[in-house]
Structure 1
Amino acid sequence: MTTITKQNLPPVGHAFAGSAGAMFALALVYPLDIIKTRIQVQAKHDKVDAKEQEHYDSAWDGICQIVAKDGLSGLYAGLGSSLIGTASTNFTYFYCYSFIREQYNAKFNNARGGTLSTGMELLLGAAAGALTTLITTPVSVVTTRQQTLPANERQGVIETCKTIVAEEGVAGLWRGIRPSLVLCVNPAITYGSFEKIKQMVLQLLHTNVLSSGAAFGVGALSKTLATIITYPYIMAKVRMQWKPSKEMEGKVVAYKGALDVLARVLKQEGFLGWYKGMSTQITKAVLSQALLFMMKDIFTNYTVLAYALLKNAKK
Structure 2
Amino acid sequence: MSAQPKPQTLTPVAAALAGALGACFSTAVVYPLDVAKTRIQALPKSKGNDDLSMFALIARIFKKEGPLALYGGFGATMLNTFSMQYAYFFFYSIVRTSYISRITRKLPKGSKAPALSTAAELLLGAIAGALAQIFTIPVSVIATRQQVGRVSKPRSQLPSNTTDVEPKPSDDSFMAVAREIIEEEGVGGLWLGIKPGLVLTVNPAITYGMYERVKSILLLAKAKAGVDSKMSAGQSFVIGALSKTLATVVTYPYIMAKVRIQARSADLDNEEPEHPTEKSAPHIPHHTNPKSRHPGALDVLAKVWKREGVIGWYQGMQAQIIKAVLSQALLFMSKEQFERWTLALIVLFAQMRSRSK
Task: State TM-score, norm by structure 1.
Answer: 0.91
Structure 2 Cα separation of the partners of residues 230 and 302 of structure 1: 33
- 2:181 aligned residue: 164
Structure 2 Cα separation of the partners of residues 64 and 281 of structure 1: 17
Contact 1:44 1:269 in 2 (8 A): no
**Cα deviations across residues 79-128 of structure 1 (Å, max 9, x unaligned)?**
10000000000000001000111111222217866521111111110000
Q: Superposition pairs for residues 260-299 of structure 1, below 5 Å?
A: 260-299=299-338
- 1:43 aligned residue: 44
Structure 1 Cα separation of the partners of residues 270 and 93 of structure 2: 47
**Cα deviations across residues 246-298 of structure 1 (Å, max 9, x unaligned)?**
xx799658651000000001111111100000011001000000000000000
- 2:208 aligned residue: 191
The residue type paired with residue 86 of structure 2 is F
Contact 2:6 2:350 in 1 (8 A): no
**Cα deviations across residues 34-55 of structure 1 (Å, max 9, x unaligned)?**
111111112145xxxx6xx243
Aligned Cα root-mean-square deviation (Å) = 2.1
1:211 aligned to which of 232, 256, 267 = 232
Structure 1 residues 44 and 267, CA gap change in structure 2 (3 angstroms) = farther
- 2:51 aligned residue: 56
- 1:94 aligned residue: 89
Q: Superposition pairs for residues 242-253 of structure 1, below 5 Å?
A: 242-244=263-265, 252=272
**Cα deviations across residues 216-240 of structure 1 (Å, max 9, x unaligned)?**
1110010001000000000010111
Aligned length: 305
Contact 1:77 1:146 in 2 (8 A): yes
Contact 1:149 1:244 in 2 (8 A): no
Q: Superposition pairs for residues 89-238 of structure 1, below 5 Å?
A: 89-109=84-104, 115-150=115-150, 152-153=169-170, 155-206=172-223, 207-238=228-259
Structure 2 Cα separation of the partners of residues 292 and 154 of structure 1: 32
Structure 1 residues 61 and 306, CA gap change in structure 2 (3 angstroms) = same
The worse-fitting range, judged by mean Cα deviation, of 197-206 and 15-24 is 197-206
Structure 1 residues 264 and 244, CA gap change in structure 2 (3 angstroms) = closer
The worse-fitting range, judged by mean Cα deviation, of 142-151 and 185-194 is 142-151
Identity value in percent: 46
Report the CA distance between 1:57 and its aligned residue. Answer: 3.1
Structure label with greater radius of gyration = 2
Structure 1 residues 308 and 114, CA gap change in structure 2 (3 angstroms) = farther
**Cα deviations across residues 5-38 of structure 1 (Å, max 9, x unaligned)?**
2xx2100010010000000000100011111111
Structure 2 Cα separation of the partners of residues 187 and 108 of structure 1: 23
